[in-house]
Amino acid sequence: MIDIRHLRNDPETVKALMARRSKPALVDELERALRLDARLRDITTERDTTRQRVNELSKQVGQLRKFGDDAGAEALMAESRALGDGEAALAVEFAEVEEALRAVLLSIPNLPHPDAVVGTGDHENPVRKGPVNMPQVFADWQRVPHWETGEALGILDNERAVKISGAMFTMQRGAGATLARALCQFALDSNADVFEEIRPPSLVTTATLTATGQLPKFADDAYAIERDDLWCIPTAESSLTSIHAGEILADTELPVRYMAHTSCYRREAGSAGRDTRGMLRAHEFDKVEILAVVTPDQAEEVFQDLLRRVERVIDALGLPYRVIEICTGDMGQSHHRSVDVEVYAPGCDTWLEVSSVSWFSDYQARRADIRFKRAGQKGTEFAHTLNASALAVPRVWAAILENFRLEDGTVAVPPVLHPYMRGMTVIAGA
């Protein structure tokens, strides 16, 4: 969440930054937060004044009792009781206003980075780099959708996946399953130089999803296990971010870098009939996530490093790709700055987002209470968090089947994956 003190002390600057998101209602929400914050401080002042008066009355009652003025003492005690009732009412109001302020702050998105491109929606996202690895022309046999190739080779069996689990579930078989696993292992190996591998829980608490911003706003897109107050993770970002929730790290420990291969679960509410064929959009999929917790002055360098790493993996696979800068009007709730890496799928004739590289400033760390202490300085600061999809299987898998499809209908395996494919260099069928 944003810093209420920053909003209180410099409201016009915060409003100007928020206005860059091109959603006027957000500025109204900032005004509401300011009103609630002001009321909280007024209640605190009223409560302190009341308590001071009650203490004064208590002393005066003692003096009156000492000199035998019982009537005067009773009158002051009646006043004290009335003040006590008022203090109790203030305490109730304080709790209500405090909860209302927290709810507003949880709903307000992050402030955009000053360098973020201003825009109103995804149609204004500029191409930052590319296309890279884009051939001048694609052969006709590359223009076949991956779901047709996958079914023909027997490596994609969504019909039985639907029978098992319902719509928008997928199932890879034989070489298709091997390819999915190979992609994840390749992504892990590509980042093992500085990222510690974690296998985090796939079920997390409400507090964990709230820390990363998925809750409360995106509850409809998450799978809830209500009986146990747990949620299926939509991304390993949720688990990895909260590793240090409630902790104070030394600045010498930062940056800390984690990577994880997990299954991810998303209800994809509202996506019925949109990009749901083949592997393009599913309720469950595998992904390798890379994440860093850093000091504010380390954030820019780490952001660029995450992007380089994602590009390196996609480039090594030989896929056509481009980098898109996400404008302020298209940014996610928690994002301070964000870029997407997209690959081109000739069979679908479209660009597919395969990774988002995101810098959250202290927005998530403030929600999760992740702090650090600088050596030799008093107090603590909130850390910054960043993450990226090192590789999300479904769309990369799909792009490989389309870009590397051969004239005879088989699929060439990208050379960097050969060590992970049990000797297969061409996928000729299940």
| Catalytic residue list contains 41 | no
Annotated catalytic residue, options 338, 395, 402, 405: 395
Annotated catalytic residue, options 281, 322, 337, 405: 281
| Catalytic residue list contains 143 | no
Q: How far, in Å, are 259, 268, 338 from residue 123 at the CA level? A: 32, 21, 15
| Catalytic residue list contains 266 | yes
Burial pattern 122-135, b for ≥16 Cβ within 10 A else e, equals eebbeeeebeebee
From CA 60, how far away is CA 75, in angstroms rounded?
11
Annotated catalytic residue, options 190, 238, 355, 356: 356
From CA 130, how far away is CA 321, in angstroms rounded?
7
Instruction: Find tokens 């990226």 and name the residue.
Output: 388
| Catalytic residue list contains 356 | yes
Q: Please provide the size of the chain in residues.
A: 430
Collapse the DSSP code of 277 into the 3-class scheme (helix H, G, I; strand E, B; otherwise coil) and give the result.
coil
Annotated catalytic residue, options 266, 309, 337, 371: 266
What 8-state DSSP symbol labels residue 118?
P
| 213 half-sphere exposure, CB direction, 13 A CA radius | 23
Burial pattern 9-34, b for ≥16 Cβ within 10 A else e, equals eeeeebeebbbbbeeeebeebbeebb
| Catalytic residue list contains 395 | yes
Annotated catalytic residue, options 96, 99, 196, 353: 353
Annotated catalytic residues are 266, 281, 353, 356, 395
